Structure 1
C-alpha cells in the first residue's frame, strides 16, 4: 500500500500548527477546486488536498496518523499494524467523496461506516455535522456591502448538477462559513447541507484582522509636526481625520465603527507614516538646511547611544 504524506500534500511541516494547516488547505482548495481551477489534474489534486485536510484537521486523527507513520521511510511500502484504526465510532463524511479517498486513508479511518449499534438516523446526523465546503473569493468591498454569487452544485451521483444563486450577507469575514441548508448533493436519499467558506482577496489599501482593518496613511513632516486635517478613505466612504500635532510614524488612530459591517461593526486603525518630499531644487534644499539648523539639538537616535 502506498503511504500518503499528508504534510507534503498540504505543503506544511510535520510540526505545523492547526491554523497553518487550515490556511494551507484553504489556499490549495481554492487553487485546485474543479469549478474554478484551470490547472492540469485539478480534480485529482483537490481530492488529495481534501483527504490530507480530513486526516490532519482533527487532533485525534492527526495523532493516530503521526503514530502510524513514525517508522515509515520514503520508498517503503506501508502496512498498518492490526487494530491500528482509532478507537470509537468510525468517521462519517458528508458526501460520497469518501469513496474516492485512498485505500491508505480508509485503512486508518474507515470509509464512513457506523457501529452496528448506532441509531438508524446516525448517517444523516453525521452528514449534517460534516457538510461539504465550497470556497468562494470576495473582494473586501463585497464583504462590506454583501454580494450575490452563482455556484455550480454537482449532484454527487454523476447525473449532472445545477446552478445555485446565493446572497452573501454584508460583514462576512475571512474564513467564515455560510450554511446553505439542504443545498448540497443528495446522497442515498439524504439532502446534505453545503457550506460556502469565504476567502477575502488581498486589498491594496487595507490589512484585515477579523472585522477590523488597518490602513497605512502617508503624511508630510509638517502635517505630523503641526497637526492637520486630512481626507482618509474608508469602506463606507471618505472621511476627514484630524492628525494631532507632534504625531510620529507608526502611531495609530482609531476610527470606530469604520471596519467591516457587524453588530458591533469593526474599526479601522489608521497607522501614520511620515513621508519626506523629494528635494529637487536648491531652494528646497535650503529649506531643509534651515530646518537642520533650527533643530540642531534634536537627537533622533539618542535612545541608541550606549553607555
Structure 2
C-alpha cells in the first residue's frame, strides 16, 4: 500500500498551522468541486483534498498521521477508521486491518476511548458520541476492567524493522462458574510496528483485568524498552555509530563500508578528517512518517607500538613531522623555563 502524503495534497508544509491548512483546503475544494470543475479527474482531486483535510484538521488524527503515515489508518486513509468494533477495521488486539495492526495508535487515542467507554452507544453514521462516524459500542452502563502495564524488551533490530513477538503473561481471568478472578498463564502474539521508539506503548485490546459485573476487560499496555546495542546508539529517532579508522585513512582519505541496521553502505572519508568528525545520512535512522537520521562518527585508532618495527616508524614520524598536538593551546600551556613541573 502506498502511503499518502496529505501535506502535499493540500500543498502545505509539514509544520503548517491549522489556519494555513484550512485556507489551503477551502481554496482547493473550490477549485476541484465537481459542480464547478468539469475535468475528468476533478472529483478524484476533490475527494483527496477532503480526505487530507479530515486528518490534518484534527489534532489527534494529525499526530497519528505524522507518527505512522497513512498506512496505519486501517486500509482506507482517514476513512479506514470508520469500520466499527464488530467490523473489519479492528482486530482482537486493537487497530486491525492497517499495516500497523494491533494498537499502533494506542497512545494517541487512549484518552479518547477512555472518555467514551462509559458514554453513549454509537451505532451507525451520524451518532454524536462517535467522532469516527459509526459502529462503536462502548458498553454503556458498565465499568471497564483495570488496565495492565508491562515492559516489552526489544532489540534495536526488532524496533527498527518491526517484528511479531509471542509473550507469556500471568493474566487475571474471571472464572465463569464461581465469578472469582484468578491468574492464568496466557500466550499473546504482539505485532511490533517498524520504528517503535523507547517508551512508546502498544495496546492489546481487552487483555487486561476483567471488569465487574461481566463488563469488558481492560487493556494491556506494553511499553517498548529498547535494549542497549553493542554497536549503535539510539537517540530519539536518530542512530549513531562510531567508525574505527586508521590514522592514514583519516589523513589520506578512504572509502569505507559502514554497518547500518538496513545493511552495509559505502562512506567516502575525505582527506584531513579529524577524530570525532560526524557524517549525517539524512533519513537513514529509525523509520517513521518523519524518519530519523543516521550519524557516523570517526574514531581514529592508533596502532600499538608493540614491536621494534612499529617503534621505529613512530620514532621516524616524531623526527620528520613538524606536529604539535597542543599547538592550539598557545605558549601558556607549555612548561618553559621556570615553569612548574608535575612530580
- Scaled to the shorter chain, the TM-score interval is 0.5 to 0.7
| Gap runs ≥5 in structure 2 | 1-139, 174-180, 333-343
- 1:177 Cα deviation after fit: 0.7
Distance (whole Å) between structure 1 residues aligned to residue 261 and residue 316 of structure 2: 41
TM-score, normalisation: structure 2? 0.49
Distance (whole Å) between structure 2 residues aligned to residue 245 and residue 182 of structure 1: 59
Distance (whole Å) between structure 1 residues aligned to residue 317 and residue 239 of structure 2: 36
Find the counterpart in structure 2 of residue 268 from structure 1.
294
Distance (whole Å) between structure 2 residues aligned to residue 181 and residue 123 of structure 1: 15
1:163 maps onto 2:187 in alignment? yes
Find the counterpart in structure 2 of residue 87 from structure 1.
none
Aligned CA RMSD, in angstroms, stands at 2.2
Cα contact 2:147–2:209 (8 A) shared by 1: no
Question: Aligned to 1:154, which of 149, 152, 171?
Answer: 171
Distance (whole Å) between structure 2 residues aligned to residue 222 and residue 276 of structure 1: 10
Residues 149-298 of structure 1: matches in 2 within 5 Å? 149-151=165-167, 152=169, 154-156=171-173, 157-158=181-182, 160-188=184-212, 189-296=215-322, 298=323
Find the counterpart in structure 2 of residue 134 from structure 1.
150
- 1:33-91 residue CA offsets vs partner (Å, 9 max, x unmatched): xxxxxxxxxxxxxxxxxxxxxxxxxxxxxxxxxxxxxxxxxxxxxxxxxxxxxxxxxxx
- 1:274 Cα deviation after fit: 0.8
Distance (whole Å) between structure 2 residues aligned to residue 158 and residue 281 of structure 1: 69
Distance (whole Å) between structure 1 residues aligned to residue 142 and residue 318 of structure 2: 78
For residue 203 of structure 2, give the secondary structure of its aligned residue in structure 1.
Answer: strand
1:302 maps onto 2:319 in alignment? no
- 1:213-249 residue CA offsets vs partner (Å, 9 max, x unmatched): 1111110000111110111110001111111111111
Distance (whole Å) between structure 1 residues aligned to residue 196 and residue 170 of structure 2: 22
Distance (whole Å) between structure 2 residues aligned to residue 287 and residue 121 of structure 1: 84
For residue 244 of structure 2, give the secondary structure of its aligned residue in structure 1.
Answer: strand
1:144 maps onto 2:160 in alignment? yes
How many pairs align? 183
Go from structure 1 to structure 2 and tell me whether the alpha carbon gap of 1:288 and 1:182 turns closer, same or farther (over 3 Å shift): same
Distance (whole Å) between structure 1 residues aligned to residue 311 and residue 141 of structure 2: 81
Structure label with greater radius of gyration: 2
Cα contact 2:277–2:297 (8 A) shared by 1: yes
Cα contact 1:153–1:184 (8 A) shared by 2: no
Cα contact 1:181–1:192 (8 A) shared by 2: yes
- 1:286 Cα deviation after fit: 2.7
- 1:119-178 residue CA offsets vs partner (Å, 9 max, x unmatched): x85954xx7xx8321111011111112122223251252163532211111111111111
For residue 191 of structure 1, give the secondary structure of its aligned residue in structure 2.
Answer: coil
List 4+ stretches of structure 1 deviating above 6 A. Answer: none
Find the counterpart in structure 1 of residue 27 from structure 2.
none
